[in-house]
Structures are given as structure tokens and as C-alpha cells.
């Protein structure tokens, strides 16, 4: 199990400071929720950890060392949109095989694909399907299997249930909880949806305009918020909950 830590991380695009001195730790085997309104910099923080956004200040460490971004990548990102994250011309099995860290003989490869599909609760027979035959929830499971293929220590899940029907969101969230328990993964779980974060995260950090304004145990932060912005987020979420 591994610890991912952000130390005073800043990201600037030209004159635009997107993240300003963000410090956050994802402890070994725990799930940390990152919440905040659209545009506050959530995705940028995750992207910075995998070398997809320019870190202009501070540093990001995995078990105290820079995050490797070549060869086997122990930090894997899963994105919001399962429709664009899978190549429509590749079968599920081919997509997963492509993400394996080493080339395996055919038999071993098929066994590994079946193992990964089982981890995300999909039938091994799905390996022969093109993504077009799968539902959004099934595609997101395949995207998770692809991420797991690299045998990661840390998963950065960026709004992975936001594009799914409410009816399948719960199943994907349960899968996330199982993955943490069974694989000992550390996870940064990004969502603008506080109800979803409340369900999966042990600890939550609130990002506002590129800065963390509050963080702590999920029940404390969402149950007894100390910062006005957290209260504002909770108040904004409340009417939605009452409607449903």
C-alpha cells in the first residue's frame, strides 16, 4: 500500500494560477474525496499527479519519491467519460491487454484479462465485445479494469460516476469500495457530488478556486463544516436531495 502526497502544489497556465499551494495526503489504503465546484481545479490536481498538468511549484510524492511516469505506472487515472476513454474499434480484451505492463503469452494474457474483468464484476465473455455493445456502467468497469491492469498502488478517479445513470452509479460506487478493501488501493476520489463522496471517502478535502479551504474526516467535514465555502456547497446540494 502506498501514500500519495501533494506538497504545496501549484499549477499555472500562463498568467492563470489554477492551483495555489495545495497540500493533501492520500494515506495508504484510504479513499480521499476531493470536492468543489466546476472549474476549481480538481481535475488539474489529479492530472498533475500523472504528469498531465505542469507543476510550477511544490512537489507530488509517492511513498516519499517522485511519481514514476514511465514504464509501469503505479498511479493510474480513470476519467469521467467512459464513452471517450475506450477505443470503439478495440474489443474490451484488446483494450485491457494494451494496458498490461508486460507482454504475456496468449494463454496467460487471456487469464489476466479474465481476472481483471472479474475484479470489476464483469463476465470473462465480455472480452470479445466492442465497447458499443456495453452500457455506460459496463464501460466504466472496463475503464477501471484497464487502470487495474497496470497493478497500480493509487487510483485517481475523476468524476467516474458523473456521466452514469443514477441507477448504475450505486453499483460502481460499491465496486470502488470493494476495490479498496480487496486490493488495498489508495484512492483520490474526485466528485462535485457530496452524496457520492460521503458514501466512498474516509477523508474529504474541499477545493475552492485552486486552494484547499478545509479537510478532515468525511463525517466531520460534511456534518460539521468549519468553512463558509463548505457550508455553501452543502447548502447548494440540499435542495437537490430533497427533490429526489
Ligand X SMILES: Nc1ncnc2c1ncn2[C@@H]1O[C@H](COP(=O)(O)OP(=O)(O)O)[C@@H](O)[C@H]1O
Interface ranges with Mg ion (CB under 5 A): 42-43
Grid cell, residue 211, equals 486552494
CB of 16 to ligand X, least distance (A): 6
Grid cell, residue 18, equals 489554477
CB of 39 to Mg ion, least distance (A): 8
**Binding at 18: pick from ligand X, Mg ion, none (beta carbon under 5-8 Å per type):** ligand X
What gap in Å lies between CA 111 and CA 52, rounded to an integer?
32
Contact 48, 9 (CB under 8 A): yes
Number of residues that bind ligand X (CB under 6 A): 11
What gap in Å lies between CA 188 and CA 10, rounded to an integer?
18
Q: Specify the stretch interacting with ligand X by CB under 6 A; choose among 42-50, 124-132, 171-179, 236-244.
A: 42-50
H or E segment at 158? Answer: strand 154-158
Interaction between residue 54 and ligand X (CB under 6 A): no
Interaction between residue 160 and ligand X (CB under 6 A): no
Interaction between residue 161 and ligand X (CB under 6 A): no
CB of 154 to ligand X, least distance (A): 18
5 CB-near residues (< 8 Å, 6+ apart) = 23, 24, 25, 26, 60, 61
Find cell 487495474 and name the residue. 148
Q: Which is nearer to ligand X, 148 or 204 (CB)?
A: 204
What gap in Å lies between CA 99 and CA 184, rounded to an integer?
20
What gap in Å lies between CA 45 and CA 38, rounded to an integer?
13
Interaction between residue 42 and ligand X (CB under 6 A): yes
Which x/- pattern, by CB under 6 A, does the window 6-25 give for ligand X? -------x--x-x-------
Q: Specify the stretch interacting with ligand X by CB under 6 A; choose among 34-42, 132-140, 146-154, 218-226.
A: 34-42
Interface residue with ligand X among 9, 40, 127, 143 (CB under 6 A) is 40
**Binding at 44: pick from ligand X, Mg ion, none (beta carbon under 5-8 Å per type):** ligand X
Distance from the Cα of residue 221 to its chain's centroid:
20
Interaction between residue 131 and ligand X (CB under 6 A): no
H or E segment at 113? Answer: helix 106-119
Q: State the DSSP code for 200.
A: H
The residues that touch ligand X, with contacts defined as CB under 6 A, are: 13, 16, 18, 36, 38-44
Amino acid at each position: 500500500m502506498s501514500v500519495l502526497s501533494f506538497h504545496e502544489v501549484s499549477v499555472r497556465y500562463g498568467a492563470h494560477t489554477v492551483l495555489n499551494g495545495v497540500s493533501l495526503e492520500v494515506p495508504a489504503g484510504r479513499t480521499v474525496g476531493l470536492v468543489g465546484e466546476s472549474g476549481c481545479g480538481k481535475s488539474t490536481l489529479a492530472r498533475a499527479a500523472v504528469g498531465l498538468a505542469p507543476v510550477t511549484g511544490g512537489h507530488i510524492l509517492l511513498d516519499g519519491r517522485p511519481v514514476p511516469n514511465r514504464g509501469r505506472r503505479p498511479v493510474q487515472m480513470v476519467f469521467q467519460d467512459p464513452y471517450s476513454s475506450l477505443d470503439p474499434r478495440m474489443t474490451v480484451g484488446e483494450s485491457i491487454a494494451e494496458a498490461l505492463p508486460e507482454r504475456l503469452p496468449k494463454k496467460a494474457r487471456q487469464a489476466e484479462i479474465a481476472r481483471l474483468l472479474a475484479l470489476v464484476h464483469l463476465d470473462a465473455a465480455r472480452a470479445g465485445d466492442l465497447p458499443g455493445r456495453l452500457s455506460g456502467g459496463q464501460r466504466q468497469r472496463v475503464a477501471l479494469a484497464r487502470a487495474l491492469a497496470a497493478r497500480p498502488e493509487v487510483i485517481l478517479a475523476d468524476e467516474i460516476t458523473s456521466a452514469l445513470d443514477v441507477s448504475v452509479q450505486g453499483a460502481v460506487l460499491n465496486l470502488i469500495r470493494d476495490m479498496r478493501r480487496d486490493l488495498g488501493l489508495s484512492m483520490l476520489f474526485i466528485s462535485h457530488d457530496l452524496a457520492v463522496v460521503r458514501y466512498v471517502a474516509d477523508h474529504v478535502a474541499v477545493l475552492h478556486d485552486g486552494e484547499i479551504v478545509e479537510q478532515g474526516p468525511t463525517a466531520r467535514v460534511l456534518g460539521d463544516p468549519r468553512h463558509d465555502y463548505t457550508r455553501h456547497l452543502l447548502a447548494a446540494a440540499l435542495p437537490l436531495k430533497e427533490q429526489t
